[in-house]
Structure 1
Amino acid sequence: MLLESILLGLVAVWGVLDYQFGTLYTFRPITTGPIVGLILGDFEMGITVGASLELIFMGAISVGAYIPPDVVVGGILGTAFAITTGAGVETAITLAMPIALIALSISNFIAALTPAFLKIADDAATKGDSKKITKVHWLMGAFGVIEKFLLVSLSFYFGVDAVQAVIGSIPEVAINGMAIAAGMLPTLGFAMLMRMILNKKLVPFYFLGYTLTAFLGMPVLGVAIIGVIIVIEKFGFLDGSKKFATADGVQEEDMDDDDF
């Protein structure tokens, strides 16, 4: 149990460091879920739970001043407790969002205290002490790493009962609000994605996908395969030329055999 707790804590640490490598989005549940499953000996369940939690947290992205729930802690612990209790996806969905919100509250509390160290950096900058500025920079980053590691490793070590006891101490009205928010997040996530990419030229394909799933019962994988075929044909990947989207429409560009 101790070794597993440490390994899960290290997964959370990577979730923090992901931003330092250009925001690879490997901190999302669809990536951390399989890793958690591998650590706990149930890789298949890790994939299943991770994919389900990704839908829940799809709308949990930072937009403007909005700070989303802690996807890293919620995704890892939700998947871990679902596997260890054997209750499956339902447990993950029930626990992940409250855990993520509690983790966010802890992060906000720590973030309110850590700016005190910035005074040290300001004084160092006034004196031209670049080494002290670097130390403060590393110190500020270490707070996030240590916080995520301890939250995940200690929560898993003490078990789901302890976490549920903490959640149980939260007023019921707050829990109900979390449940409502969790139910709305997948819809919000898809709506935000559609708002960014949907236009009149893509609307027919949107309704094509809806028709295939709603009326013909085709699984998502089948729709994805059809989508890939449409992209290959529409953008001319097989006819020696490639097309690219522009503001005025689709333009075509010659493509050498060596590039193909």
Structure 2
Amino acid sequence: MTISWLQAIILGLFACLSSMPGLGGTSFGNYTLGRPLIGGLVCGIVLGDIPTGIMVGTAMQIVYIALVTPGGTVSADVRAVSYIGIPLAMLALKSYGLEAGSADGIALATSFGTMVGTVGTVLFYGTATMNLAWQHIGWNFVDKREYDKLYIVDMVLPWISHIVFSMIPTVVMCKLGAPVVEAIKAYLPMDGIPMKTLFTVGALLPCVGIAILLKQIVRSVLDFVPYLMGFTLAASLGLNLVSATVVAAMFSIVIFQLKMLRLQQTKVAAAGPAAVGADDDEEDI
């Protein structure tokens, strides 16, 4: 498998749209296109191997399932994971002859994603730093009361930042990634200690993502029950992700209805006996 210049440019464009600060918007760009699960589908379509792209994206999504970016703190940029790590991981899988769904394939994919995620952090801060220059220009427009020019600062100039720190690095790394992967294959054979170490560490990375998610949502002992329910459904009943999502949606609806009833009861209790008496008078009339 090789990546052409056109394919690399398309991947770079998607990296621009999903980069943070989000050129494609926070909801659609970073939190949708930027997720490895969606990025895997996009990479699979662009590179012509949708099953492998989805499998690699799913493996990387588990690692970064609990990733949050509070304020300007970014530990890893999933934009780079999705549109640099996934294509390179797909190249590596094809080069080593591994199946994307195998244990070794998942370990290799997650290892590539983690390495590239650190590079993405540098790209994120580079984008944010260059955007400061556009903010300075915007303040000058405000001081001069040229408010009609603020659209340039908001919609035009940020493209320069994202092209420099998102599109160009993505295009270069994806296009030049094939020779690098081949070099890794030549110097790090499958039966060597470095690759075995890489597979071992990569196999543990999904556990890190699940553990971080566990730490975020479990506040009491009872919280373990809904947390483990999805795993139980998959292991005991053999439900796939779509089926488990439908079951989760049903429970969400039930919980939502119960909370709405509690809110209504709270409002009635807060209104006091006067409101109840008024309702009785209206009924008597």
Mapping for residues 37-186 of structure 1, pairs under 5 Å: 37-85=44-92, 86=94, 87=98, 88=100, 89-146=106-163, 147-162=165-180, 184-186=208-210
Q: TM-score, normalised by structure 2?
A: 0.65
Q: Secondary structure at the match of 1:235?
A: helix
Measured after TM superposition, the shift of residue 33 of structure 1 is 0.3
Structure 1 residues 69 and 247: alpha-carbon distance in aligned structure 2, compared to 1, 3 A threshold: farther
CA offsets, 1:48-93, max 9 Å, x none? 1111111111122212452231101112222212222314433321
Q: Secondary structure at the match of 1:123?
A: helix
1:9 aligned partner, one-letter code: G
Structure 1 residues 61 and 229: alpha-carbon distance in aligned structure 2, compared to 1, 3 A threshold: closer
CA offsets, 1:67-121, max 9 Å, x none? 2311011122222122223144333211112212112113313433442343322
Q: Which has the higher helix share?
A: 2
Q: Which runs of 5+ in 1 are unaligned?
A: 166-175, 237-241, 252-260
Structure 1 residues 218 and 81: alpha-carbon distance in aligned structure 2, compared to 1, 3 A threshold: same
Q: Secondary structure at the match of 2:259?
A: strand
Measured after TM superposition, the shift of residue 161 of structure 1 is 4.2
Structure 1 residues 231 and 106: alpha-carbon distance in aligned structure 2, compared to 1, 3 A threshold: closer
1:184 aligned partner, one-letter code: V
Mapping for residues 160-239 of structure 1, pairs under 5 Å: 160-162=178-180, 184-194=208-218, 200=222, 204-209=225-230, 211=232, 216=236, 218=238, 220-221=240-241, 224=244, 227-228=247-248, 231=251, 235=254
Q: Which runs of 5+ in 2 are unaligned?
A: 101-105, 184-197, 266-285
Alignment partners' CA distance in 2, 1:3 and 1:18: 21
Alignment partners' CA distance in 1, 2:146 and 2:162: 25
Alignment partners' CA distance in 2, 1:164 and 1:111: 34
Alignment partners' CA distance in 1, 2:61 and 2:264: 33
Mapping for residues 27-46 of structure 1, pairs under 5 Å: 27-46=34-53
Flag as ranges the 4+ runs of structure 1 deviating above 6 A.
178-182
Provide the aligned C-alpha RMSD in A: 4.0
Q: What is the count of residue pairs matched by the alignment? A: 233
Alignment partners' CA distance in 2, 1:164 and 1:94: 16
8 A contact 1:97–1:182 mirrored in 2: no
Among the aligned pairs, what percent are the same residue? 19
1:245 aligns with 2:229: no
Q: Which has the higher strand share?
A: 1
Alignment partners' CA distance in 1, 2:249 and 2:138: 55
8 A contact 2:78–2:120 mirrored in 1: no
2:142 aligned partner, one-letter code: A
Measured after TM superposition, the shift of residue 44 of structure 1 is 0.6
1:25 aligns with 2:32: yes
Q: TM-score, normalised by structure 1?
A: 0.70
8 A contact 2:81–2:114 mirrored in 1: yes
Alignment partners' CA distance in 1, 2:161 and 2:182: 24
1:243 aligned partner, one-letter code: Q
8 A contact 1:28–1:54 mirrored in 2: yes
8 A contact 2:88–2:181 mirrored in 1: no
Structure 1 residues 65 and 181: alpha-carbon distance in aligned structure 2, compared to 1, 3 A threshold: farther
Structure 1 residues 115 and 51: alpha-carbon distance in aligned structure 2, compared to 1, 3 A threshold: same
Q: Secondary structure at the match of 1:122?
A: helix
